[in-house]
Structure 1
Amino acid sequence: MADTITADEVAFQLVTIGSLKASQRLDHMIIKNFLGGALVSVGGMLTLLVKGGCQGLAENNPGLVQLLLGLVFPIGLVMSTLTGGELSTGNVLFLTVALMQRKVAWWRAIKLFVVSWLGNLAGSLFYIIIVHFGDIITQEPYASGTIELVKEKVLSPSWVNVFVRAIGCNWLICLAVYMSFLSKTVVSKVLTVYIPIFTFVVVGFDNSVANMFLIPIGMINGADLSVGKFIWKSLVPSTLGNIIGGSVFVGMFYWYLYVLEIQTVKTGPILPVTETGDQSIPCGMAPAQPIAASTAKHTHAHHMANLSNSALATAADGRGDHASDGTVGDSDSLRSSAFNNALTHIGKME
C-alpha cells in the first residue's frame, strides 16, 4: 500500500469529512474546538517566550527572530491536527467543499463555524488563565514582548492590512490541512502541516485563532488596547480574511479542479441535499453515464465519487436507524465506521 494519495482523492475525502463534521453531536463540536483553541495557544505561548527573550537579537537581526518564531508556533497546531482538535480556520475548508458539492445544508455549515469559532475562543481564553496565573509571561522581558506584539498586530497596521494578511494566512493554513491528507504516516503529516504554518508565521500573517490568545495576553500585561478595539481591529478583519483565504483559494479552487469535473462526468448536474431528522443526505443520485474507456482518470473518478457517496449514505442510514430511540452514540459509531471504511478503500486504490 502506498504511503501517499493523490490531490484529487483528498478533495473527495474533504467533501465527506465536511458533511460528517457538520452533522456531528453538539457536545463533540464544542469539546473538539475548545481543545483546538487551547492547543494552538500552546504554540502562542512558545511564540511569546521566544519573542520576549530575543528582544536584543531583534534589534540587529529581526529576520532571525521571525525564523525562530516560525519554528515554535506550529507545534500547537501540529498537536491539534494529530489528536483531532478542530479550528474554525481549518473548518472553512471542509465546509466549503461540502457546500459546493451540496452535501451539507447552509444552516448546518453556519452552525458548525459559529460553534467552532466560539469554542476556539473559549479554549484560548482558558489557556490565558493557565499562563497568567502560572506567572509564565508576566515577568520581564516577556511581558514587554507581549505588549510589543500587540503594537505590531493591532495598533500599527490598519484594518485593511490585517484583513489582507488574514487572507494570506488561511490560504496557507488550509493548504496545510489539505496536504496533511496526502500522507498516511505521522512524520509526513507533521512535515506537511509544519511547512505552511512556519511560512505564515515568518511572514507575519494574521490568524484569528492565534490572535485570540496573543492579543489578550498583551492587554493583561498593560498594552494600550480596549476590548472593543481588539474585536474591531483584530478579530473581525482576521476572521473575515481567514474565511476568504481558506474558502476561495483552497476550498473552491480545488473543488473546481478535482471534484466538479469528475462529478459532472459521472452524474451530470450536482444534486442538492434534503433534510431527514437532523441529518443532511443526498437526494436521489442520477444514474452514472457511460464514460469512454480510454479515459483512465474518469474511471478512477467513478470509484472516488462512489466511495464518497457510499460513506454519506451509510452515515445517513445509521442516523435514521437510531433516531426513534434517541441512541445518538450508535449512529455516530456507524457514521464513523462508514467513513473509515471509505478512507481505507480510497487508500488501496492506485
Structure 2
Amino acid sequence: MSYVPPAELARAMVDAGHSKVLTSTRDTLIRAFMGGALLTLAAAFAVTVTVQTGNALLGAALFPVGFCLLYLLGFDLLTGVFTLAPIAYLDRRPGVTIGAVLRNWGLVFVGNFAGAFTVAVIITFVLTYGYSIPPNDVAEKLMHIGEGRTLGYAEHGAAGMATLFLRGVLCNWMVSTGVVAAMMSKHVTGKVLGMWMPIMLFFYMGFEHSVVNMFLFPSGLLLGADFTIADYLVWNEIPTVLGNLVGGLVFVGLAIYTTHVRTRPKRAAVEIAPARETETV
C-alpha cells in the first residue's frame, strides 16, 4: 500500500500544517463547514444505528465513514489543525506565525460549528416533523446524551471537570493519530484502514470530540433537553476544546515532530574489547 516511513511522514505533517495555515479565509471556512457537517452527519448515523439495533459497538464501527470522507475530500476539523498547524510554526515555515496559527484555529472553529449546527437543525427538524411531534427514540437519545455529558459532569464538580478534560485529551490523541495514519499510505484503501480504528475507538469509548459535540448538544437543546447553553459551554465545549488541543498537539504532533524531524544524533558505537583468556598454571 506504498507505506510512508516515519521520517517522510513527519515531513508530510509539517507540509500539511503549512498549507492549512496559508489557506485563504474563504477556502478555510468552506472546508471547515463541510468537515463539521460530514462528521456530524456520521455522528447522527451512529446514534441512529445504536438506538435502532441496541448495539453501540456497531454504531461506533460505522461512525468513521464520515471522518474518512471528509479527510479524503480535503476538508478540515479543529482537532486536526490543533495538531498540524503548530508544528509548521516550530519548523519555521514561511508565513507561519503564532497569529497565523491562531487565525487558522479560529476560522476552522467557526466553520466547524456552522456545519455542525446546520446538521443539528436539519436532523432535529426531520426527527420531529418540524418540531410538531414529540421526539422519537433517536431524538430522546440525543437529549439524554446532552444532559448526561453536561449535568452529569457537573454533579462531580472538579473531578467531573478533570474527567471531561482528560476525555478530550484522549479523544484527540486518537483522532489525530487517525489523521496521521492516513498519511502513512499513498492509496485510498491504506488511508481508510489507517483512519478507521482510532476513530472507532474514540467514539465507542465515549471520549469528547469538540466538533461532534457541536452537533450533539445543540441538537439536545433544540429538542428541549434539560440543560442550558451555559451548561454546554462550561461543562462540555470549552474543556473539551482545551483537552483536544493538548491531546493532539502533545501526544501526536510534538511527539512525532520531535523524534522524526528534530532527531538527535545517534549514540556512538562503543567497541568492547574482547575478554583476555585466563592463563592456566
TM-score category of the 2 structures, normalised to the smaller one: 0.7 to 0.9
One-letter code aligned to 2:2: D
One-letter code aligned to 1:222: G
Aligned ranges for residues 78-227 of structure 1 at < 5 Å? 78-103=68-93, 104-135=96-127, 139-157=135-153, 158-227=160-229
CA contact (8 A) 2:2 2:187 kept: yes
CA contact (8 A) 2:121 2:222 kept: no
Supply the distance in 1 between the matched residues of 2:208 and 2:127 (Cα, whole angstroms). 26
Q: What corresponds to 2:59 in structure 1? A: 69
Q: Offset at 1:33?
A: 0.2
Q: What corresponds to 2:260 in structure 1? A: 258
1:27 aligns with 2:18: no
Supply the distance in 2 between the matched residues of 1:212 and 1:73 (Cα, whole angstroms). 16
Supply the distance in 2 between the matched residues of 1:181 and 1:169 (Cα, whole angstroms). 19
Supply the distance in 2 between the matched residues of 1:150 and 1:68 (Cα, whole angstroms). 21
Unpaired runs of 5+ residues, structure 1, are: 58-64, 266-350
Q: Offset at 1:112?
A: 0.1
Secondary structure at the counterpart of residue 5 of structure 1: coil
Supply the distance in 2 between the matched residues of 1:107 and 1:96 (Cα, whole angstroms). 11
One-letter code aligned to 1:225: F
1:18 aligns with 2:20: no
Supply the distance in 2 between the matched residues of 1:24 and 1:136 (Cα, whole angstroms). 39
Supply the distance in 1 between the matched residues of 2:142 and 2:56 (Cα, whole angstroms). 15
Supply the distance in 2 between the matched residues of 1:75 and 1:13 (Cα, whole angstroms). 23
Q: What corresponds to 1:62 in structure 2? A: none
Worse-matched range after superposition: 190-199 or 157-166: 157-166
Secondary structure at the counterpart of residue 32 of structure 1: helix
Q: What corresponds to 1:238 in structure 2? A: 240
Q: Identify which of structures 1 and 2 has the higher relative contact order when contacts are C-alpha pairs closer than 8 Å and 6+ apart.
A: 2
Work out the number of aligned pairs and report it.
Answer: 256
Worse-matched range after superposition: 145-154 or 40-49: 145-154
Worse-matched range after superposition: 113-122 or 15-24: 15-24
CA contact (8 A) 2:165 2:242 kept: yes
CA contact (8 A) 1:100 1:252 kept: no
One-letter code aligned to 2:210: S
One-letter code aligned to 1:195: M
CA contact (8 A) 1:18 1:98 kept: yes
One-letter code aligned to 1:78: C
Supply the distance in 1 between the matched residues of 2:128 and 2:164 (Cα, whole angstroms). 28
**CA displacement 1:22-66 (0-9 Å, x = unmatched):** 111110010000000000111111122123335xx4xxxxxxx33
Supply the distance in 2 between the matched residues of 1:43 and 1:155 (Cα, whole angstroms). 25
Secondary structure at the counterpart of residue 245 of structure 2: helix
One-letter code aligned to 1:94: L
Unpaired runs of 5+ residues, structure 2, are: 154-159, 267-281
One-letter code aligned to 1:5: V
Supply the distance in 1 between the matched residues of 2:224 and 2:119 (Cα, whole angstroms). 18
CA contact (8 A) 2:128 2:136 kept: no
